[in-house]
Structure 1
Amino acid sequence: MTRKRYAAPALFAGPLVQQATIDAFRKLDPRVLVANPVIFVTEAVAAVVTIVLIRDLLTGAATAFTAQIALWLWLTVIFSTFAEALAEGRGKAQADALRRTRTDTRAKRLVSASNDRIVETVSALDLKPGDLVRVETGDVIPGDGDIVAGIASVNEAAITGESAPVIREAGGDRSAVTGGTTVVSDWIIVKVTAQPGHSFLDRMIALVEGAERQKTPNEIALTVLLAGMTLVFIVAVGTLPGFAAYHGMAMPVVVLIALLVCLIPTTIGGLLSAIGIAGMDRLLKFNVLATSGRAVEASGDVDTLLLDKTGTITFGNRMASEVIPMPGISAHQVMEAAVLASLADETAEGRSILELARNTMNIALDRPAGASFIEFSAATRLSGVDLDGRRLRKGAIDSVVKFARQTTCGQPITEPPGFRETVDRIARSGGTPLGLVENDRILGVIHLKDVVKPDIKERFAELRRMGIRTVMVTGDNPATAAAIASEAGVDDFIAEATPQDKLAFIRAEQSKGRLVAMCGDGTNDAPALAQADVGVAMQTGTQAAREAGNMVDLDSDPTKLIEVVGIGKQLLMTRGALTTFSIANDVAKYFAILPALFVASLPALGALNVMGLSSPQSAILSAVIFNALIIVALVPLALKGVAYRPVGAAALLRRNLVVYGLGGLIVPFVGIKLIDMAVTAIGLS
């Protein structure tokens, strides 16, 4: 099934660029920039040069050189805030699309919990946790909650982007519903669990806008490193006036500031925040909502993936996989009887029998006229139909045998040859056998099984190639667990597991220094999702699971971790690549500015002018201009990310050094020389 993804706007879409430009100027507030030490220092020295320029204008000593340095220093700051604003703007554009899915929803709140037909119409904003609301065909679900009664088909396109409706029902792991989604058939009673303004959709909007994005430990460590490097260069540049005075030279403050800005790591400093924001943005393109930037980063180093079986590896409800006729009964006859006996069964198992008939045989699914249908009952564990003297029943094995005996007034019945062997075989394989009887005659056995989601085995094999060990966890007995594990292709499994067992396994793995990801959908998965380094909750799961995880997969596809891991690795690689480039590209600036500063008193330093720059002023101005423009040039790479390929650490290091290290050395030499030629040609220096 092809799913609709959230369409990300073009990288430099007109409206995005316009808004990002406005936001870039808003971010010049020093109280905002102080979180980025490199750019904060750049803004501070740009202000100093501006003050010098104003002083010189008032005294008549102003020069075009000082004005140009001031201009390009401010552009350096603005380009860095523009990169961050553009990354945030892409998230806000997606948030606006989500916000448009919300309406001023009206809710049918139950007046009395004992009568679900007596309701009052109120605004969804007036609902509070614990309220019961009735939602019928065509109604928008007014808030996050759990179904306490009924079953319905729900269109969740507002959340998942998937137009095909899904079944939601009371009980089990498919009872959670999300505000803003629409009931397309039947009815449900929903118990509201979220405060107004704090629904899942509200949190999604806040998260994709970046309002709750926190810096990751790696990002914080890199920020500290960049701040340390900046401090070192401030001290180093601060010693130059004394050195110049010793040689009888005057060292203009504007030139010193230009040198400082060119030496501190402004490139990575200006792009660091944009890289982190873009990582969360890329996840949303795969319908994964990250509630923690730290989780995105940790996903790049995951060693072990723990997956709940029911609803994660399998579809969650046992589904009919085959209908086995008894001797003397044709496959078409027994399938037709199974359909008639299931037409009044609204359970997932009953619907799966109709789906099996639709997919395998050309059998009408319409209710025949004159039939008396018996709905499925938990008390009898049977459903069926009485039609033209035929009394068809389908249900648990002991229930259908009991029904057959009642038909013969308690007389023994003759079970068909192979009936018990078929029942035992299905049970041993981990499936559930259902009997099918007509009057006192057993017609066949229906095999219900946990159906593994399609293509999951190949996806787990891809995870294995990425070095990730997959472990299935289930409450089933070892035989059933082994059968599902083999079919799904996981590396290992834990059977008869309790929530405490899942938690203990994750802690044991973490104690060995491994990073663990957990995929789950049930309330019993919540402790493990909270403990895991990367907790991916399925959107189809319970509210407790979604609250506990630090990511929510809107497609409920456990193998989505392949994309999550790839984006995590891409985030780390992008940050590493641009840091390598940023540090390497400072080398060329030494060859541009240092000769310009000292060649007059130390002619021997002229040998360092390997680029043959036209004049000292041209060299300094060209280096400052390049320093600003390179930030803009690298914005697309910061937002798109470095392409991820599953290679080893050594190969990755070599590639970084060759592509971004060597590139960081060569590109500035070429760029500064070209800028020098341009500024000289148009007379700016």
Structure 2
Amino acid sequence: MTTTLDQPNAKLARRASRQLSLFAPDLVKPAIGRAFVMLRPDILWKNPVMFVVEVGTALSILYTAYKVIDPNSTLASLGYLIALDVWLFLTVLFANFAEALAEARGKAQADSLRKTRQDSTAWRLRLVDTTNIPPGTLATWTKEPRQFIDEVPSSRLKTGDLVIVEAGQVIPADGEIVEGIASVDESAITGESAPVVREGGGDRSGVTGGTRVLSDAILVRITAAAGQSFLDRMIALVEGASRQRTPNEIALSLVLSAFTLIFLIVVVALWPMAANAEDYMKGYVGVETLKSLGTDIPTLVALLVCLIPTTIGALLAAIGIAGMDRALRANLIAKSGKAVEVAGDIDTLLLDKTGTITLGNRRATRFVPLDNLAATEVGLLAALSSAADETPEGKSIVELHRRSPDAAPALPPPGSKFVGFTAQTRMSGVDLPDGRVIRKGAADAVVKYVKAQNGTIPATTDDQVNAFASQGMTPLLIAEGNAIVGLVVLEDVLKPGIKDRFDRLRKMGIRTVMVTGDNPLTAKSIAAQAGVDDYIAEATPEAKLAYIRKEQYGGRLVAMMGDGTNDAPALAQADLGVAMNSGTQAAKEAGNMVDLDSDPTKLIEVVEIGKQLLMTRGALTTFSVANDLAKYFAIVPALFAGTLPWLKSIDVMNLTSPTSAILSAVIFNAIIIPLLIPISLKGVTYRPVGADALLRRNLLVWGLGGVIVPFVGIKVIDLMLTAVGLA
């Protein structure tokens, strides 16, 4: 089994599968066939509500057949019974069709992904021990002749195998880069044409089978064998094979089953009551009056079907499948439907500052002298110390100096010795051939360095550093020799519109928490600018884990996004852990959802998808319950008014006859299911509102609409039945 993609066609196939209309012929035909297959009792019993409808339909059909044999066996007309059987059967069929159509959409996506897959050749290293890889392995094994490399089909790769992938080759399976750095085209998976950089030894070491290396070469350790890749998982998920019912879905099914059982007991009890009513009541009311009670089985089955919540029972599975489908179309792989559902119930959201709240890289914005030098001179020293610094911050310092008026070229002379940044020194710089030593780094590290050189610290140093840090900036001190001469200010730039997005989340009742490694002063300032509710400064894996546990002990559900191995404990602890596809294998295993786009801001969209799922389920449940209330007013007075005359006072619909009332309600009950399929699959329109506003909207739109629609619909059907002589 292969796990790679035919790259040129993959993006088009994914886009085509996403643009399928709800009722495209390619979807409807298999869905109809599947709907008939799902009539099997061993399949339908998993939906208790519709299983009861199916059993009742079978009893009604048997009773009608008996009516054909013995025309005098009942007071109901044969035409009425046949019409009743047809619409009861269609009720079950429409319910099955709703779920089958949702599954068909997933299968269409799966088929399009399968068509794009092809087997590729992998260069597998012949090593006895693949766990300890010495540095330089990639350079060694890529040299000719390659007598220690086996060319094998990607389908034969196993977890732990080491493969070399060079420019132009397809990555044969999911893995983690052990060595090397490369530009990778991930459009086959994410749909985005812009290449991304993946490198070993960091938090962006994960690669996905089916993507293509555009430059350089990488050494990859395979982490997923054939049939277990992200592509294979995606296919299984969109087909519905891996979908399990979520806790809320199970709970709602139990409630619907309880309602069904209650009404089943009530309706079954009517049969013996009606059978013996003539003996007990013929002295009080006429025998002809009792005939309106509806003592035949089809009428009692129809009564039961109209009383129980068939609408939401029919659409419940389709709503859940559609929620998974929306997540997958957003390039999110959820390990279970529970992850999508939990996203809609999240109370607290943990977001990394870098790349999520800010643009990702701090930029140098100003040079500030602390000695007798001018700002341009401080800028020159800072630029010289950053000439060999390949970090975005270092490049921004050089760029800021270059744009300064009358700036001298920052070109270190030949013989200069560059000092790289380390976690221990927290400084970098350059030793010039003329003996000058320039250092740039964190304020406390540079102060400590200068004191060790018996230098002097300007009196205003601490005040300047604290002033900039309190505004959310990062000041780096510049030292020449044993004297601090100035500082360079780095600033985080907030992403456009990020504050508005946090306001939307706050309206939904979700607290946002910024996670950053910055000092508390910087973190506090950025948190205030971004509009988050809380922040974790100088964040460590232990600090993130402790914060999540504290929130959970308070009864709140927590979501977090991460990509590194150090994020794995917090991702595992969070109720919703979203891992970056570009991240480490540890992070992807710890989370319960993987973002194929590796977009840190996707966490906000995840919450919106979950909210839409819950809103759709809540809206259609409200509509279904309101439908049932309206049907009570349609059926009960018309059916039992002959026996209980006082019911005439609530017969507001004034239907033609008891048989017309029953048949009209059953027909409406059947046709409302396919009419609601587009809403269950597309979802109700998402709005970032709180629980109270959402409840009011549900009651006003779906509750009131659920009452009005059946009154109008049943009355119209009654008039049509009267016109054709079935009333």
TM-score, normalized by the shorter chain, greater than 0.5: yes
SS in 2 for 1:298: helix
Residue in structure 2 matched with residue 536 of structure 1 by the alignment: 578
Inter-partner Cα distance in structure 1 for 2:167 and 2:86 = 62
Change over 3 Å in CA distance of 1:540–1:271 after alignment to 2: same
Q: Is 1:619 equivalent to 2:681 in the alignment?
A: no
Inter-partner Cα distance in structure 2 for 1:524 and 1:329 = 40
Query: Residue 305 of structure 1: which of 328, 342, 349 is its match?
Result: 349
Cα distance, 1:183 vs. partner?
0.9
Which amino acid in the other structure matches residue 344 of structure 2?
A: G
Residue in structure 2 matched with residue 378 of structure 1 by the alignment: none
Residue in structure 2 matched with residue 262 of structure 1 by the alignment: 306
Residue in structure 2 matched with residue 92 of structure 1 by the alignment: 107
Cα distance, 1:160 vs. partner?
1.8
Inter-partner Cα distance in structure 2 for 1:178 and 1:454 = 30
Query: Residue 324 of structure 2: which of 280, 286, 291 is its match?
Result: 280
Residue in structure 2 matched with residue 168 of structure 1 by the alignment: 198
Residue in structure 2 matched with residue 31 of structure 1 by the alignment: 42
Inter-partner Cα distance in structure 1 for 2:564 and 2:461 = 30
Structure 1 unaligned residues grouped into runs of 5+: 362-383
Cα distance, 1:595 vs. partner?
4.2
Cα distance, 1:443 vs. partner?
14
Inter-partner Cα distance in structure 2 for 1:635 and 1:540 = 36
Residue in structure 1 matched with residue 717 of structure 2 by the alignment: 675
Residue in structure 1 matched with residue 453 of structure 2 by the alignment: none
Whether contact under 8 Å (1:423, 1:433) holds in the other structure is no
Q: Is 1:204 equivalent to 2:234 in the alignment?
A: yes
Cα distance, 1:161 vs. partner?
1.7
Which amino acid in the other structure matches residue 590 of structure 1?
A: Y
Inter-partner Cα distance in structure 1 for 2:159 and 2:570 = 25
Inter-partner Cα distance in structure 1 for 2:632 and 2:220 = 67
Q: Is 1:158 equivalent to 2:188 in the alignment?
A: yes
Query: Residue 21 of structure 1: which of 1, 21, 32 is its match?
Result: 32
Change over 3 Å in CA distance of 1:20–1:339 after alignment to 2: farther
Cα distance, 1:129 vs. partner?
1.2
Cα distance, 1:47 vs. partner?
1.4
Q: Is 1:51 equivalent to 2:62 in the alignment?
A: yes
Residue in structure 1 matched with residue 81 of structure 2 by the alignment: 66
Inter-partner Cα distance in structure 2 for 1:319 and 1:190 = 31
Residues 161-560 of structure 1 mapped to structure 2, 5 A cutoff: 161-248=191-278, 249=290, 251-309=295-353, 312-313=356-357, 321=364, 349=392, 395-396=420-421, 403-404=431-432, 407-408=433-434, 411=435, 455-479=497-521, 481-482=523-524, 485=527, 488-560=530-602
Which amino acid in the other structure matches residue 26 of structure 2?
A: P
Inter-partner Cα distance in structure 2 for 1:206 and 1:460 = 34
Which amino acid in the other structure matches residue 158 of structure 2?
A: K
Q: Note the alpha carbon deviations across 1:611-638, whole angstroms, 9 max, x for none.
A: 2322332222111111101111111222
Structure 2 unaligned residues grouped into runs of 5+: 1-10, 128-132, 279-289, 405-409, 441-445, 451-457
SS in 2 for 1:204: helix
Inter-partner Cα distance in structure 2 for 1:105 and 1:33 = 42
Change over 3 Å in CA distance of 1:542–1:351 after alignment to 2: farther
Inter-partner Cα distance in structure 2 for 1:491 and 1:435 = 35
Which is further off, 147-156 or 210-219? 210-219
Which amino acid in the other structure matches residue 105 of structure 2?
A: R
Change over 3 Å in CA distance of 1:401–1:588 after alignment to 2: closer
Which amino acid in the other structure matches residue 628 of structure 2?
A: D
Inter-partner Cα distance in structure 2 for 1:615 and 1:414 = 98
Cα distance, 1:431 vs. partner?
5.1
Which amino acid in the other structure matches residue 69 of structure 1?
A: L
Q: Is 1:141 equivalent to 2:171 in the alignment?
A: yes
Which amino acid in the other structure matches residue 85 of structure 1?
A: A
Pairs aligned (count):
646
Inter-partner Cα distance in structure 2 for 1:18 and 1:170 = 48
Whether contact under 8 Å (1:536, 1:550) holds in the other structure is yes
Whether contact under 8 Å (2:185, 2:195) holds in the other structure is yes
Inter-partner Cα distance in structure 1 for 2:629 and 2:326 = 33
Which amino acid in the other structure matches residue 573 of structure 1?
A: M
Whether contact under 8 Å (1:237, 1:260) holds in the other structure is yes
Whether contact under 8 Å (2:386, 2:395) holds in the other structure is no
Inter-partner Cα distance in structure 2 for 1:136 and 1:451 = 36
Inter-partner Cα distance in structure 1 for 2:221 and 2:678 = 46
Residue in structure 1 matched with residue 632 of structure 2 by the alignment: 590
Whether contact under 8 Å (2:246, 2:337) holds in the other structure is yes
Which amino acid in the other structure matches residue 649 of structure 1?
A: A
Inter-partner Cα distance in structure 1 for 2:584 and 2:492 = 19
Residue in structure 2 matched with residue 41 of structure 1 by the alignment: 52
Residue in structure 2 matched with residue 379 of structure 1 by the alignment: none
Measured on the aligned residues, the alpha-carbon RMSD in Å equals: 4.0
Inter-partner Cα distance in structure 2 for 1:415 and 1:547 = 41
Change over 3 Å in CA distance of 1:63–1:531 after alignment to 2: same
Identity %: 57
Question: What TM-score results when the alignment is normalised by the length of structure 2?
Answer: 0.78
Cα distance, 1:149 vs. partner?
0.9
Whether contact under 8 Å (2:237, 2:243) holds in the other structure is yes
Inter-partner Cα distance in structure 2 for 1:489 and 1:593 = 55
Inter-partner Cα distance in structure 2 for 1:606 and 1:626 = 22
Cα distance, 1:532 vs. partner?
1.2
Q: Note the alpha carbon deviations across 1:16-59, whole angstroms, 9 max, x for none.
A: 22222222222222222112110010111111222233344455
Change over 3 Å in CA distance of 1:431–1:130 after alignment to 2: farther
Whether contact under 8 Å (2:173, 2:224) holds in the other structure is yes
Change over 3 Å in CA distance of 1:91–1:334 after alignment to 2: farther
SS in 2 for 1:185: coil
Residue in structure 2 matched with residue 75 of structure 1 by the alignment: 90
Residue in structure 1 matched with residue 443 of structure 2 by the alignment: none
Which amino acid in the other structure matches residue 572 of structure 1?
A: L
Whether contact under 8 Å (2:385, 2:429) holds in the other structure is no
Inter-partner Cα distance in structure 2 for 1:522 and 1:664 = 49
Change over 3 Å in CA distance of 1:659–1:35 after alignment to 2: same
